[in-house]
Structure 1
Amino acid sequence: MPADLAVIGLGPLGLPLAQAAVAAGIPTLGYHTGEEPGALSPAELRRMLSGGFRPATDPAALGRVRTVVICAPTPRGADGRIDLTQLETAARALAGHLRPHTTVILESPVLPGTTEDFLRPLLEQGSGLLAGRDFHLAHSPSRVDPGNRAFTPANTPKVIGGLTPACTESAAAFYGRLTDKVVRARGLREAETVQLLETNYRHVNIALVNEMAVLCHDLGVDLWDVVRCAETKPFGFQAFRPGPGVGGHGVPQDLSGPAGRGLRMVELAQKVNNRMPRYVVQRAATLLNEHGKSARGARVLLLGVTYKPDLADLQGTPAEEIADRLTGLGASVSYHDPYVPAWSVLDRPVPRADALYEAVAEADLTILLQHHRTYDLQGLSVKAQLLLDTRGAAPLGAAHRL
């Protein structure tokens, strides 16, 4: 069966798009670029294959589709800037087989200007075609929220911005087959900046509530009760909740470097959020000390080490720094996570607790880092000698809250 769509990159952004396309009846080609693949159960894979999905490793297959969506990972590099290596690899693989009239859409998170100034030259030089004349080029910020069952590609509006009005309309026609609503941005850079705003909005508000958590602890105020009351306001407020740090694939961007100026509020928010793992470890050491124990030699159990509940994704999880810092204090660290059968921090394996309740009872301190639905926090809090709850999920009075 010939494919209508090729998705380049089958990680956390590309795989949900491919699944949605297949569910919408669009024959889809999945081209793997070397990124960590998204998780599919055998049943999900069978459904996709029977629905018209075909995995491919030969880039020649990319020249036989009408629409190509690039979802290559763009992680932070060692210097803190966005690493476009995998995007470049994807672009070069496509460019050698790009045909006239193809619509190319970039969904990877990038800084404004990347689609036109970085991706466009790679495609044009490699294909001999001109964007906006021979093929359509557009950007659509990814709005994937892994594990969110309420919002799917079908009911999440899709923003589109093209190099030309015709590029925008071509991309909009494709996404109109997947979603109930398509929103047209003025151009490529506006569409790219949408994701910048959405990601930074999340990080800035998480930073605010994380700072509130530290302040409220010092004041003896229950922040979770404060948030519960505040979110009853029907206007001007959206509830965010604190945690041990911020993980995930949508990293905040302060625009320093290529754009020539930074966003000071985002830079400050990053500092606040990056400080939270250290704060969690400080609270842990203080709790142990208050109960006559030292962090050195203490048995500390971490509950939930993924960055998001009910998912196996460890991308950017704050649990890694927390485990490393606790180990540096001399603590004996173990973990439990129903989604992570094995876990290493800085190439050192962390022991996994298989018998959860026994491990909680034996630990000098248990720290809830991620609230998976399978955790019975009422029962666990009864078993725990000390429980530090960084998610405000345990029953009131059953744990020490962040």
Structure 2
Amino acid sequence: MGNLVASWRFKEPSTVEECDSTWGSDSESDDEDSGISESVSPAESERAAGDMSPQLTESPLSAPKMKRSFYAARDLYKYRHSYPNYRKSRQPNEYRNLRFYLNKIPLIPDGIYVEEILTKWRGDYDKLEHNHTYIQWLFPLREQGLNFYAHELTQDEIKEFQSTREAKRRFLVAYALMLDFYGIKLLDKSGNVARAPNWQQRFRHLNESQHNYLRITRILKSLGELGYEAFKAPLVRLFLEESLCHNTLPNMQHSILEYFVYTIRLPATRRRLLRFARQHYRPAHAFLWGPLPKRRGGGSGGGSVGAGSSGIRAPAPTPEPQRRAEGESPTSPCGGIIVSSHSATLCQELAGGSLKGVTGLEGPLMMVDIRGERKEYGEMNEKNHY
């Protein structure tokens, strides 16, 4: 029996539908406590309900065919399910990620210790932009990236990391360092975030910086691995607001909806974010990330636009009464820039400590180039460049 169990391998999903469990238990009641505020002004509500731009009056049948990325869906499926086929393990004395965060070993190949990065690199945006070796040491995962000197996390190492106060303190400082780089500030121990004072300069650069979107995906994954799952939703919500409502990060839309949202493990929270995105996505009929048509009162036919190989079709604009029935408030567009965390309970281990280690939380960001095709992003992320 032991050999039989050891030889069993998890069968990986082969379609986007098999990878995405977001709408598998489409219950409204479990969304009520997600903690993602959607309160807004009446003016914003009217804008969302009454936007009759040329894009929205265009017939869905005339729109180009679109499809979701299977590469993205499979990658995030594996992550959310803790890499079901993962078998590798290490001895405790090889816990290089933990030892790095304890400032006992430098990152390889640069020979730099974590304390130097956290104290001397903040605000050095050129260095943070162009150095491509540190990100996998600061935000380790259970998968191999481009820097083969960086070790993957293991379940045992994750447990040790989460029980080591010094490592967790430095990890939060590293997170604040990268948020500052992106024009965002970390507000508190619950993961709330907001625009940094110089967000305009940094957002302009981030909007043209594709490889930083790969880094953000890695950062979100690492937050979940190391005990900060609750920090993801506030950051993803802020990116949705900036890209869909304020148009400050329009080039990021695809990355948010294909990758960032799906790093979140709780389906109810993903649904909440996707309902918000669907309300503001333009053109509305091209929104691919909602429930399948059969879950919206229809079959796989009318009201949808060309399907890609994933088999998921883009639905036509949803009538307002149906939106209400699905739990979307007509007065829930983009609110303020500060985003509330959906849960602060995962951060209780920080009680007794503080974010004093996360000094200078107000600062800027920087980036490079996103002018590559969206397909290239999917292919690059599948290869885990960062």
TM-score by length of 2: 0.29
- Which has the larger Rg? 1
If asked which structure has higher relative contact order (CA below 8 Å, sep 6+), I would say: 2
TM-score by length of 1: 0.28
The structure with more strand, counted as a fraction of residues: 1
